[in-house]
Amino acid sequence: MPILHQYHDRLGWYVRTVIDKAIITFQLTSVGARRLLEAGGKNGTRFRRALLFELYRSGDAYTHGTGPGVIEPYKKGQLEIDFSNDPEPETIFPRCSSCGSLNDLHFVEIAKEKRHYAGLYCSECRKKSGDLIDTSIPLPVITRGILARVLELKGISELDTSAVAYKESLDSAFNEKWDELLKKKRQTKHPTQGVLTGAEEKQRTLT
């Protein structure tokens, strides 16, 4: 599970987690840190990977290859305990289509020979493929609506595996929020009447 940490040498907070057997550091914006703290987080708190992904998707948790500052060293055996199994898989996070990095991802439009498609590229792979890239948008800026509009305006009909996975995550998040809204609406329209006891339920069935 991701772990919330406070900087030892300056103000601020960051998160560490394990992805692909490597420790990844996510910096937090003031908004991201505040959200975790308001949810009861404190130095050393573990939380679900899905919450970190929500912060990542909103741009409030990010990684640009910068170090986290001075970190208190792990005690012997602590690493395994801190990064115990999480309900959400590591694959929840988007990866660079080319190298698999999570660093500073952009949604990019690529025109390569006769192939026209979209993918997710990290900063290094964008530099290497600069002459092939037309549109490049920071991933936290991409919403479900923006993505649909870009695909339509640019005439992009093909998405690579990484882009497809991210689009599906946006669709899933939208559907979850929509279902939650509909559920609240139904509860408001038809408030809970209480739970019948066994005798009451039997009597109602009989009548």
pLDDT along the chain (207 residues), means of 10: 88 87 87 93 89 88 62 49 65 89 92 90 92 91 91 94 91 75 70 46 41
Say what the pLDDT of residue 117 is: 94
Distance of CA 98 to the CA centre of its chain: 20
Say what the pLDDT of residue 23 is: 81
Say what the pLDDT of residue 22 is: 78
Residue count (the chain): 207
Say what the pLDDT of residue 82 is: 52
CA dist 27 and 44 (Å) reads: 15
Burial 154-193, CB ≥16 within 10 A → b, else e = eebeebeebbebbbebbeebeeeeeeeeeeeeeeeeeeee
Q: How many alpha carbons lie under 13 Å from residue 181 in its C-beta half-sphere?
A: 6
